[in-house]
A = this chain, B = another copy of it.
Amino acid sequence: MARRRRMGEFQLIARYFAPLAQGFAGAGGLLSDNAFLPADPRRDIAVKTDTVVAGVHFLDDEKPGLVAAKALRVCLSDLAAGGATPFTYQLSLALPRTWTERWVAGFARGLAADQRRYGIVLCGGDTVVTPGPLTITITAFGRVASGCGLTRAGARAGDRLWVSGTIGDGALGLLAARGQLSAPSLERRYRRPEPRCTLGPRLVGIATAVADVSDGLLADAGHIAQASRLAIKIERERVPLSAAARRALAAEPGLWAPVLGGGDDYELVMAVPPRRERALLAAARAAGVPVTPIGTCAAGEGVTLLVDGRPVRSPVAGYVHF
């Protein structure tokens, strides 16, 4: 009987999702089978799909607005790594059987807030009910000058490796969210990541390879090393840390493992040739995002972590999804 009182799929779309698609002509008010992304002679479309599952990728009892932010922003972070400016997204929402309209309303409000923040509009998707946990898949679309999309594959020997912002706050924030560490500022950062959408598009023509730090700095640098077929050395002393992360590491040096390997930072790690470093610093200033050199690219393979100039066995392999 409780089910009868709830809305059906079409009412849910009309009330909560169609308003999010207003202003995107190709979405047709979510009344048709497809969305249409308009032809553009000069720009490629960058596409990224990410799935987040309750209890796996975000806390089981997370607020709906923060779930919306997390699901969207992990995708926007990937587009930033591609040098692309986001413009639209598709949403697949698999609701648990216990879903409430109140939850959906809060989730839609969270999406609306991020739509304003990042200049994006919903263009379509799907809504189903699952016997499993809440599962959200976002496919995000960005534009980048044709042929100029950034990948992990272009780094060259002699490039320096840089990162944006600070590293380790995401992983320490997860420990804080679980009550294993007291650091409210880091917990906030874990729960509401800040993708580097202002920096990413400015790296076109500057960086030779970019990845976002979602699996952990060492793992994501490793992805660049693998795709670009070269070796990367990272000097641990140079890795930029927040004041809160520095305090946590001073109290417990064992936390270097999550800091370098834990993921969820949503910073950008990039390879930049020395002759483009001035351009990089200007781009970072314009984006309002600090960048720090942390290592080098050379012939060879794999990632080596240096502590006080000496290679150490990598403490972690990155966040393991499985």
Is B42 touching A39 in the complex (CB atoms < 8 A)? yes
Nearest chain B CB to A134's CB is how many angstroms away? 9
Is B51 touching A94 in the complex (CB atoms < 8 A)? yes
**Residues on B with beta carbons closer than 8 Å to the beta carbon of A132:** 53, 130-133, 135
**Residues on B with beta carbons closer than 8 Å to the beta carbon of A126:** 49-51, 137
Is A38 touching B6 in the complex (CB atoms < 8 A)? no
Segment among A24-32, A165-173, A232-240, A308-316 that sits at the interface with chain B: A24-32
Within 8 A of B (CB), among A154-200: none
- Complex Cα gap A20–B310 (Å): 41
**Residues on B with beta carbons closer than 8 Å to the beta carbon of A133:** 130-132
**Residues on B with beta carbons closer than 8 Å to the beta carbon of A46:** 34-37
**Residues on B with beta carbons closer than 8 Å to the beta carbon of A91:** 49
Is B322 touching A32 in the complex (CB atoms < 8 A)? no
- Complex Cα gap A91–B36 (Å): 19
- CB-nearest residue of chain B to A141: B47
Is B44 touching A41 in the complex (CB atoms < 8 A)? no
- Complex Cα gap A245–B103 (Å): 42
A79 interface residue (CB < 8 Å to B): yes
A273 interface residue (CB < 8 Å to B): no
- Using CB atoms and an 8 Å cutoff, list the residues of chain A in contact with chain B: 3, 6-9, 12, 26, 28-29, 31-53, 55-57, 78-79, 81-82, 84, 90-92, 94, 123-133, 135, 137, 139, 141-142, 144, 146, 149, 151-153, 210-212, 223, 226-227, 320-322
Q: A34-B46, A34-B79, A47-B124 are in contact. List 7 more A-B contacts (CB 8 A).
A: A31-B223, A32-B151, A33-B78, A34-B151, A37-B46, A38-B146, A49-B126
